[in-house]
Amino acid sequence: MPVSINTTMTVTILISALALTCLYALASGRTPLGIDPAWLWSGVAGAILIMAFRQTLENIALRRLRRGLFKAREGLLDPVPAGRLGWLMAGRIIGEYNVTISTLQSMFRTVEECQGRLLNQRNKMSALLQSLPGALLSLSDDLQVIMANKQAEELFSSHPTPLIGANLFDVLRLGERDRELLRDTFLNKFPIRSQEISLDTDTGPSYYSLNLEFYNDEDNDIGCVLILQDISEYRQLQDSIAMREKLVAMGQLAAGVAHELNTPLGNILGYAQLLGRATENPEKLAEYARIIGDETKRCSRIVQDLLNYAREDRCTGETCEINQLIRELIETFLNCRLKRYDIEARLELTETPLVVEGGCGQLDIVLTNLILNAIHALDGVKNPVIVVSTRVDEDYAVIGVADNGLGVPVGIRNRIFDPFFTTKGIGQGSGLGLPISQAILGKRGGFIVYDSEYTDGARFLIKIPAVDMRRAGL
């Protein structure tokens, strides 16, 4: 059982007190109780020997502790063996030292395990970043590149200065639109998700998908990570698919134009026959000649629209006043057919002009398709009515073509815009009218929808961007 520090101190004090008492007695010549001075000298010598022996043991223990400290300074955290010296003051310190060394060893083992896990995770993250299919840039608060993966280094290998430490806007050769996008991003600190941008390279413009995320939400901290993924091939594939779709749609449009031309050509023939019979009425002659001219122009527009559809989109600067187009459409070739089938035509048009971008030719085809479909849907309906309306809905001009027929069954509403799908009998329809109309409007930023909320028959709504008359100065 180890001796406690208090017991050791008590024994040391008693021995010291005994030695001092003996020395005092010898010095004063007064020996208590007639004790022989030789015994006193023996006591003093014994106390000195005990103290010297104890001090020697203390020095041995201290030397062991000193060697342990030297080893610990060199990184060797080995315990110091106290042996039988544990009862000494230095031995007790050795025990405390060993406890400290044991604690440090445990702490260092934990630190080493943490470092190992950290290095493992860092290696995994590094491998992950290096294997990304895109270029990754890590940016500091001043928008300087502080980290880049190998894809980024390859992408910006032609940069005249080292990539690390370069400013982002010096590295990215952006157009003004994309530069403005990044400026707004850093100013307002909002992330970017799959934004397509264009970079100028030595071989020409390349397209990339940009993703950007900030490290934290602090307003004054704009450090972020940026990933660029090359989508040039995907963009080329999209353009190729778009061109193929355009060619397919153009073929469908050509098939539809054939029966679109039949109507104005029939009108031209009919009015030409009337023109030959009204030789004695100059006013009728002039009216029939005007209608024939208008129908001829309509045929020309249909053919020209087909040619324009095959070309690249471009801005012609033309506009179309929808209300006037509808009036002319009802007044001319549709008016005869409506009267023939005893169909009432109602016009609910806006009082002010309603102008949209582009010429009237393609809208003429779209409206003709919808009205012809409405005429077909009114077969066998009592008191048939077709209502053509116009209104403004925010930035869109809305044209409604409604009839009081049976409507479109719910089960086929999701198929009415599919090419070659038709509810008409064999030989009565090609199933291309609505798909062609949808394709025509799509080029102009518009679309057709079936109004499922209309319950008095069927109603189709055409939505197409309207011209802001005030801003356009019209």
End-to-end CA distance of the chain: 110
Separation CA 365–CA 242 (nearest Å): 22
What pLDDT does residue 2 have? 47
Q: How far apart are CA 138 and CA 465, in angstroms?
A: 42
Task: Please give the Cα distance from 335 to 327 (Å, whole number).
Answer: 10
Q: pLDDT digit string (tens) for 402-451?
A: 999 888 887 777 777 766 556 665 444 545 667 777 777 887 788 888 88
Give pLDDT tens digits for 94-147. 888 888 888 888 888 899 899 888 888 888 877 777 777 788 888 888 888 888
Q: 50, 66 in Cβ contact below 8 A?
A: no
Single-letter amino acid code for the residue at 1: M
State residue 156's pLDDT score.
83
DSSP per residue, 120-172: HHHHHHHHHHHT-SSEEEEE-TTSBEEEE-HHHHHHTTT-SS-STT-BHHHH-
- The listed range with the strongest mean pLDDT (14-23, 87-96, 313-322, 371-380) is 371-380
Q: Would you give the distance in Å from CA 260 to the centre of its chain?
A: 44
What integer is the mean pLDDT of 245-252?
65
pLDDT of residue 391: 92
pLDDT digits (tens, 9 = 90+) for 156-169: 887 778 888 888 88
pLDDT at 450: 87
Alpha-carbon torsion angle 33, 37, 42, 46, nearest 10: 60
Please tell me the predicted confidence (pLDDT) of residue 348. 92
- For tokens 């309906």, the residue is 381
Q: What separation in angstroms does the CA of 91 have from each of 14, 63, 100, 313? A: 21, 11, 14, 95
Higher pLDDT, 321 or 3: 321
Q: Tell me how far apart the alpha carbons of residues 91 and 97 are, in angstroms, rounded to a whole number.
A: 10
Q: Given this model, what pLDDT does residue 312 score?
A: 47
Enumerate the β-bridge partners of residue 399: 390, 462
pLDDT given for residue 339 in this prediction: 79
pLDDT tens for 194-237 read: 888 888 876 778 888 899 988 887 767 778 888 898 888 887 88
Mean pLDDT over residues 342-362, rounded? 86
Write the single-letter amino acid at 45: A
- Full DSSP string of 3-50: PPHHHHHHHHHHHHHHHHHHHHHHHHT--GGG--HHHHHHHHHHHHHH
Dist CA 184 CA 173 (whole Å): 17
Q: In what order do the strands lie in the sheet with 192-201?
A: 145-148, 135-139, 224-230, 204-214, 192-201
Query: What's the order of all strands across the beta sheet hosting 344-348?
Result: 344-348, 385-393, 396-403, 458-465, 447-450
pLDDT exceeding 70 applies to what percent of the chain? Answer: 74
Q: How confident is the model at residue 256 (pLDDT cuts 50, 70, 90)?
A: low
The alpha carbon dihedral of 421, 423, 426, 432 has a sign of: negative
pLDDT at residue 240 in the model? 79
Q: How far is 132 from 120, CA to CA, in rounded Å?
A: 18
Q: Which residue has the tokens 């060697």?
A: 67
The answer, yes or no, to whether residue 318 has pLDDT greater than 80, is: no
Q: How far is residue 431's CA from residue 419's CA, in Å, rounded to a whole number? A: 6
Beta pairing class for 396-403 and 385-393? antiparallel
The set of residues, in sequence order, having a beta carbon less than 8 Å from that of 278 and lying 6+ positions away, is 284, 285, 288
Are 184 and 204 within 8 A, CB to CB? no
The H or E element that residue 459 is part of is strand 458-465
pLDDT of residue 8: 59
Domains of the chain plus CATH, in order, are 5-108 (no CATH), 135-230 (3.30.450.20), 238-472 (3.30.565.10)
Confidence tier at 460 by pLDDT (50, 70, 90): very high
d(CA 186, CA 23): 90
Residue 78, SS3? coil
To which H or E segment does residue 381 belong?
none
State the pLDDT confidence band at 466, using cuts at 50, 70 and 90.
confident
Per-residue pLDDT tens over the stretch 260-301 = 676 677 777 777 777 766 667 777 777 777 778 777 877 776
